[in-house]
Amino acid sequence: MKKSGIQLLVGKKKATAVKPVSEPIPARPKSLTIVKSNWNPPKTPAVNEGKVQSRIGISIRRIREELGLTQEMTAERAGLHAIYYGNVERGKNNISIVALAKIARALECTVADLVTGAEI
C-alpha cells in the first residue's frame, strides 16, 4: 500500500511509516585534498613571567612604602596571608587578578596603578 510517497508496512500489531530512499548515498572520496594556507599568525614576543611578577611586586612595594604601611598591615587590610603578600612583593608568586584588586583596594589605588607602575 502506497500513500503520498510514504510506504506503510503493516505488521501484526501496528503500522510503521517508512520514507522511501530517493537517491543513493554518495561514496566517500578515496583521497582528501589538503589546502595549505600561506597565512602565518604574527609572532608575539616571549613574556618572562618572573620578570613581570617582580615588576608588579616592585610597584606594589613602592606604593605601600609611600603610604608608610608595613607588609603585615597591607596584607591584613587586603585580607591576604602575610607570607603570600610578602611573596607577591618579592615576585615569587603568580598573583591573581582578584588578589591584585584586593591589594589595590588596601593601598587605596587602582589595579591599573599597580600594573602600569610596573612598566611591563
pLDDT of 85: 97
* Domains in the chain: boundaries: 49-116
Three-state DSSP class for residue 70: coil
Residues 6-30 have pLDDT tens digits of 545 555 555 555 566 667 777 776 7
Mind listing the pLDDT tens digit of every residue in the chain (120 residues)? 444 445 455 555 555 555 666 677 777 767 767 667 777 777 777 767 778 889 999 999 999 999 999 999 999 999 999 999 999 999 998 899 999 999 999 999 999 999 886 655
Q: What is the reported pTM?
A: 0.60
pLDDT of 4: 47
Architecture of domain 49-116: Orthogonal Bundle (1.10)
Alpha helices in the chain (DSSP H): 49-67, 71-78, 82-89, 97-106, 111-116
